[in-house]
Amino acid sequence: MGHGPAVKLGKDDATSYKTKLGVSMFIVYTLVYAAFVGINAVSRALMQKVIFGQTLAVVYGMGLIVFALVLAIIYNHFCTAAEKRMNQ
């Protein structure tokens, strides 16, 4: 069964904007993640501190996951708006 593409793809004028936004968000996330790794490497005792009923390591790790999801939602919002604005 050969199904062709679902939609016809054309030129995307928002590509450069989306690339810059994605790279910027990647750098921000990388810095936040590097801080997590750095704290684990330098001060293991700090990560064992209990906050909100859990260790800082667990809270920070879950925060990283939530932060990634929030960044994805923000990225999608801005990219969709840019596509609508630039591809008309």
Q: Give the Cα separation of 9 and 87 in Å (integer).
A: 12
Is the entire prediction scored with pTM above 0.85? Answer: no
- Measured in degrees and rounded to the nearest 5, phi and psi for residue 27 equal -65, -45
Using a 10 angstrom Cβ sphere, with 0-12 exposed, 13-18 middle and 19 or more buried, the burial of residue 86 is middle
**Average pLDDT value for the chain:** 92
Instruction: Give pLDDT tens digits for 18-34.
Output: 999 999 999 999 999 99
pLDDT string in tens for the chain (88-residue length): 677 766 777 788 899 999 999 999 999 999 999 999 999 999 999 999 999 999 999 999 999 999 999 999 999 999 999 999 998 7
